[in-house]
Structure 1
Amino acid sequence: MRAVVIQAFGGPEGLAVIDLPTPAPAAGQVLIATEAIGVGGADAVIRSGALAAYGFEEGHIPGSEVAGTVIAAGDDVDTSWIGRRVWAFTGVGGGYVEQAVAPVEEILPLPVNLSAVDAVTLGSSGVVAHFGLSHARFAAGESVLVRGAAGSIGIMTVQLAARDGAGAVAVTTSSAERGERLRELGATHVLNRSGEGAADAPAGYDVIIDVVAGPDLPSFFGKLNPNGRLVVVGAVAGQPPADFGTAMMAAFRRSLTFATFSADTVAGPSRRAVRAEQFAAASRGELRTVVHEVLPLEQAVPAHRKMDAGEVFGRIVLTP
């Protein structure tokens, strides 16, 4: 089968398409003929080599979510899964392939009218957005700022916050055109990347959901209301400064809260229940998936170049 591997850490040119043996599902696993493969910001961070200290090595296959048809089942797996269309989480890699292995507890049947492309656009990002807002203790009527709203996680956070009664949903983004698209999804105020630019925007926010992190993160503590909560759900701009907590301590009397959130800390059945609800909502047209572009597997390099250049609104999807 064809697979994309990281042959050399660094830029997108370090990705290569190679032939690998078709994997066999182990006990508790299924084998999926992929129809759609989600391309995420985490894939680009791993490809860059920034996470090499965490055990990622050259030769790694990027990608964590796929959708397609189950074609084989390992021991201890109900064979009725074979032939069913599913979404699957493959783990911290293994997704950029024609045939992917996934644990049976990490697959979910697709509604009849939800495409594989839509499934990988929503599958992980919707769960992160849902539980990120929950982690921030978001309540109806509160103001929310979504930092880095043009990616799939940000887009879902905007929709969920608006749907669940936010008093205001502000977004940071890089262009007026993107801002208008985000307004169509529920944003009420559009700001530039520094969080400025809308005269009628709230002076402060009860909740900030941050997909970006990076060197500018400390400046966003100043945009929180008293008792405000900032939750980092991604780090597409890298790590914040080592002394970023100084900005929080400087605002000691405002009782601010900072947290990180990873969906890995949510129990599998809870993730599964939320994902199933969101798939059903998307199939009814109540949640919108935003696909930037669908590209063949062989074009993983240009897909990553577009991400690195900040050109992507929504999600790029690869197809075998």
Structure 2
Amino acid sequence: MRAVVFDEFGGPEVLHLGEVPEPAAGPGQVRVRVEAVGLNPFDGTVRSGAMEAAFRTPLPAVPGLEVAGVVDQVGPDVAGVARGDRVAGPAGRGAAELAVLTVWAPVPEGMDATQAAALPVVAETARRALRILDPKPGETLLVHGASGGVGGLATQLAVAAGVRVIGTASPTNQERVAGYGATPTTYGEGLVERVRALAPTVDAVLDAAGSGVLPDSIELRGGTDRVLTLADPAALGLGVEFSERSEHSAETLAEVIGLVARGDVSVPVAKVLPLAEAARAAGLVDDGHTGGKVVLVP
């Protein structure tokens, strides 16, 4: 089958189309004919070789952490799903014509596959971050990267739960953050003063941007308690919690898919490109200023 492959570590240019063996659904798994693949910054981190110290990636490798597609093979010990069903879920080698899922949720009729493929990673990450920080109604949560996929969804979920959110974003994304129900502000020099002018007390901080905001976050919080980063490895030296272990569940994914399908929350898709343009798509993700998810379609 066709897949996006990299045979060496490096920049987006190492990605190319290749032929790889078809996967098969094992016990507790389904195989899908892929309709769309969501790309994430983590794909670029692995592709660059930066994760080799933490875990090894055998080459050649196929990127792609989330897919939406049509079930074409059901493994042993699987119930409640059949061939022909549309599903979405996290995948280890998703940028291909076929992918195997261990966790999945139904994609409702009328939802485009490109939108569904944008949800598995952000749904899990945003819910995990809020579970760790546990902001209560009436508390103030500061979200860095509030216009991005994870930060934007976490912002919307927190606002819906009665939490006051202050969200940092670039000047061009201030309206989007406000549209999520948060109070927007820009990042950069003077951040501490701008946030204090909006809220004298910050009860929790979520860093979904990884742009060097942890020292300011600690100052605003008055310590490292309830400061969480999803993207800044400087956390270890600062005593800040770094959460990176995924805890995917079908229930969480189904919940967020339902919220998006009903229009209660949104996860914007900024660009849809064919598999053959994977290098271009990866470059957009690496740049980090797409204003939404980048999705590949076979």
TM-score, L = length of structure 2: 0.90
- Residue in structure 2 matching 1:244, options 221, 224, 238: 238
SS of the equivalent of 1:125 reads helix
1:318 maps to which residue?
A: 296
1:96 maps to which residue?
A: 95
Q: Which amino acid aligns with 1:69?
A: V
2:122 maps to which residue?
A: 125
- Residue in structure 2 matching 1:192, options 187, 198, 202: 187
2:29 maps to which residue?
A: 29
Question: How many residue pairs are counted as aligned between the two chains?
Answer: 295
Question: Residues of 1 paired with 2:293 and 2:42: CA distance?
Answer: 12
2:85 maps to which residue?
A: 84
2:287 maps to which residue?
A: 309
Q: Does the 8 A contact of 1:155 with 1:314 survive in 2?
A: no
How far 1:25 moved relative to its partner?
2.1
Question: Residues of 1 paired with 2:49 and 2:168: CA distance?
Answer: 27
Moved more, 189-198 or 6-15: 189-198
Matches within 5 A, 1:5-20: 5-20=5-20
Question: Residues of 2 paired with 1:186 and 1:128: CA distance?
Answer: 20
Residues 277 and 216 of structure 1, relative CA distance in 2, 3 Å threshold: closer
Question: Residues of 2 paired with 1:220 and 1:307: CA distance?
Answer: 25
1:250 maps to which residue?
A: none
2:254 maps to which residue?
A: 276
Q: Does the 8 A contact of 2:5 with 2:62 survive in 1?
A: yes
Matches within 5 A, 1:251-266: 258-262=240-244, 264=246, 266=247
Matches within 5 A, 1:23-172: 23-53=23-53, 54-78=55-79, 80-90=81-91, 93-103=92-102, 106-167=103-164, 169-172=165-168
Question: Residues of 1 paired with 2:223 and 2:21: CA distance?
Answer: 56
Q: Does the 8 A contact of 1:26 with 1:75 survive in 2?
A: yes
Question: Residues of 1 paired with 2:160 and 2:147: CA distance?
Answer: 18
Q: Which amino acid aligns with 1:243?
A: G
How far 1:58 moved relative to its partner?
3.4
Matches within 5 A, 1:164-243: 164-167=161-164, 169-174=165-170, 176-193=171-188, 195-196=191-192, 198=194, 200-213=197-210, 215-225=212-222, 228-232=225-229, 234-235=230-231, 239-240=233-234, 243=237
How far 1:33 moved relative to its partner?
0.5
TM-score, L = length of structure 1: 0.84
Question: Residues of 2 paired with 1:79 and 1:241: CA distance?
Answer: 42
Stretches of structure 2 that go unaligned for 5 or more consecutive residues are none
How far 1:24 moved relative to its partner?
2.3
Q: Deviations over 1:10-37 (max 9, x none)?
A: 2111112111232222333221001111
Q: Does the 8 A contact of 1:189 with 1:198 survive in 2?
A: no
Residues 222 and 59 of structure 1, relative CA distance in 2, 3 Å threshold: same
SS of the equivalent of 1:112 reads coil
Q: Does the 8 A contact of 1:214 with 1:241 survive in 2?
A: no
Q: Does the 8 A contact of 2:169 with 2:184 survive in 1?
A: no
Moved more, 140-149 or 194-203: 194-203
How far 1:72 moved relative to its partner?
1.3
Q: Deviations over 1:270-316 (max 9, x none)?
A: x3222222222221111112111111111111111112222211211
SS of the equivalent of 1:171 reads strand
Question: Residues of 1 paired with 2:193 and 2:36: CA distance?
Answer: 38
Q: RMSD across aligned C-alpha pairs, in angstroms?
A: 2.3
Q: Deviations over 1:52-76 (max 9, x none)?
A: 1211233221111100100112333
Stretches of structure 1 that go unaligned for 5 or more consecutive residues are 246-257
Moved more, 148-157 or 206-215: 206-215
Q: Does the 8 A contact of 2:32 with 2:69 survive in 1?
A: yes
How far 1:173 moved relative to its partner?
2.0
Q: Deviations over 1:207-241 (max 9, x none)?
A: 11112346553332112157851112x22xx5217
Q: Does the 8 A contact of 1:127 with 1:263 survive in 2?
A: no
1:255 maps to which residue?
A: none
Q: Deviations over 1:132-183 (max 9, x none)?
A: 112112101111111122321011011111111123x222223x22111221
